[in-house]
Amino acid sequence: MMTTDEDVVWVCQYCGVQNSVWVDLTIDGKQDFVEDCRICCRPNHIIVTTDNESHLYVESRPSDE
């Protein structure tokens, strides 16, 4: 059975705390969205990519860059 969603961890680029977000893995390729940090409430740009073997890569960037 394929995993269709997954809880992924991203690191806030402003305060360094780890946050998690639920990602829908049925969407192919790259997903990007903005998430607010649960501690400092600043918006981070989250980029989630999957490769052909369903490996998941998560990157976070300051949203104002």
Under the rule (CB under 5 A), what is the footprint of Zn ion? 12, 14-15, 37, 39-40
User: Smallest distance from the beta carbon of 25 to Zn ion, in angstroms?
Assistant: 25
Selection from 45, 58, 54, 53 nearest residue 7 by Cα: 58
Q: Report the nearest approach of Zn ion to the CB of residue 51 (Å).
A: 28
- Closer to Zn ion at the Cβ: 8 or 14? 14
Instruction: Kindly state the smallest distance separating residue 34's Cβ from Zn ion, in Å.
Output: 13
